[in-house]
Amino acid sequence: MKRFWLVMLSLGLVLAFSASAMAVDVKFSGSFYAAGMYLDKTNFYKAEASNGLYGQEGVSTAFYYQRLRVQTDFVVSPGLTLITRIDALERAWGAPRSAVGIGLDTGSAGTAAENENIAFDWAYINYVSPIGTFDIGYMNYGATGTIFGNSSKPAGRIKYSYAIGPATINANVSKLVENSSTAKVTPAIYYTDADQDVYQVEGVYAWKSGKAGLAVNYYRYADKRPVATYYTKAYYQFTPYAIAKIGPVSLQAELIYAFGDNAKYDTTGTTDQKLSNLAGWIDATADFGLVYFGGTFAYISGDDPATSDKAEGGTLTGGIDWDPCLIMFNQDRAYWAGAINGYSGSSNTSAMTNAWFGQGRVGVKPIAALNIMASLSYAQADIKPWATAGNSTTVYLNNSYGYEIDVTGTYKITNNLSYMLGLGYWFVGDYYRGSTTYSVKDEYMLINKLTLTF
C-alpha cells in the first residue's frame, strides 16, 4: 500500500508540473535615488540700508532626500497587461512628515504625506487588440512629443492607438478634475458640468532615425462654476514636433500654440478674455565620441499686462519634466528646496514661463563610464510684468533673469548604478529687483545624486 501511494504521489507531481500555469507573469522595473543638495540662499534679497531687509536674507539650506519608484506589470495573457506604479519613501531624511491633507502632490495621484510613505500613481489596463491598442485607467498624462513643455502627472484616461505601417494614430480623453456629485465628495456638490476635461488626437510618422508628429488638444476647464463670477476656460492647442538624428547630430524641435477662451463669463457686465499663447524650442547635440557639443533655444510668450482682454501668457510653460539648468527653471530644486523669491512678487519656481532662453554646452567622455558636461545659459523675460495689477507705474525695471554656469559629472559605477556631482552658479539678473531699486544676490548650488535603475 505504501508503494501504491508513493506511485500515486509521483504521478500527481508530474501532472502538476506539466499543467499550464494559471498565475500571471509579473515584471518589475523602476528606480531609486538618494541625493544631497546645498543651496546658498533661499531668496534673492540683499540686505542694505535702503530696503530695511537686514536679517531677512535667505538662509542657506542643506539636506538629503530620496525616492523609490516601482512599476509592476501583471501580464495576464499575451496582449493583456495590468500596469501599476508606486512612489514610496519620497522624503528628506529626518525632516518632519507632511500633514495629512487632500491636496495632491506635484506630479502625483497621492498627497505629499502619502508619497512620504507609499502612493499609487498608476493602475491601468493595456489591451493590444486586433483593431488597436487600448489603455484604460490611471496612467501618465502631460507628455507629448519632445520633453519640452511636458509636465507628467497621473490622470484618469482612455487612450486608443492604431498603427498603419510607419504611421500611428492616437486618440484619448483625460479627466483632470471631477466635480460631479458623488458619495466621495464632502460637502455635497449642488452643480453640474464643472469638470476639467482634455481631448486629444495625434498623428505620428516614424522612420529609422526619427519621428515627427502633430498633436491637437481641446481643453475644457469648467471648474470655476461654483464661484459667483462663473467662467469657462476652453481652448485648442496645436503641437507639431520632430525628433531626428542626422549623422552625429541629434535634433529636437517643437512648437506649441494655444488659442481660444481664457475666461468666458456667464454673468453679464464682465469682460471675456481671449487666449493666444505661443511656445517653442529647438535643441541640437553633436556627438563625436570623446567630445560632444550642444545648444538649446526656447521661447514662451509672456502676458502683456496692458491687454486685459487677452492672455498672451500664463497657460503654456516649459514643463516640469524639462530641467535646462541646475538652479534656474529646475523642478528638482523647486520641489525639494522651494521657490526662490525676489522683490515685487518676482519668483523662480520650476517650469519656465515668460522667457527667451539660450544655452550652449560642451561635454567630454574621457572613459566610457564618465561623462563631464559644462553649460552656459542665459534667460530674459519676454514681457516685463507690473508689480501691481492695473498700475503701469509699477512695471518691472529690467527683464534679465541672468546667466547660469553649470558643471556636472556623472560616473556609471555599474550598468544600473550611477553617481552624479554638480555645481551651479547663477549670476542673478535684475528682473528679480521687480519695480524696486534694491540689489539682488547671486545664487549657487551643490548637488550629488546616486541613482539605481532596475
**Residue pLDDT, tens place only, 145-191:** 999 999 999 999 999 999 999 999 999 999 999 887 777 666 666 67
Model pTM?
A: 0.91
3 pLDDT band, cuts 50/70/90, is very low
- 100-108 mean pLDDT: 92
pLDDT recorded at residue 228: 67
**Mean pLDDT computed over 367-391:** 97
Question: Cα–Cα distance between 304 and 354 in angstroms, integer?
Answer: 10
- Residue 54 CA to residue 79 CA, distance in Å, equals 65
State the DSSP string of 173-193: EEEEE--S--TT-SSPP----
Contact (Cβ atoms closer than 8 angstroms) between residue 295 and residue 283: yes
Report yes or no: 57 and 41 within 8 Å, Cβ to Cβ.
yes
Q: Give the amino acid at 332.
A: D
pLDDT (tens digit, 9 = 90+) per residue, 113-124?
999 999 999 999
Residue among 194, 115, 122 at smallest CA distance from 155: 122
pLDDT band for position 266 (cuts 50, 70, 90): confident
- Cell triple for 404: 547660469
CA distance 362 to 168: 35
pLDDT digits (tens, 9 = 90+) for 9-25: 343 433 333 334 455 89
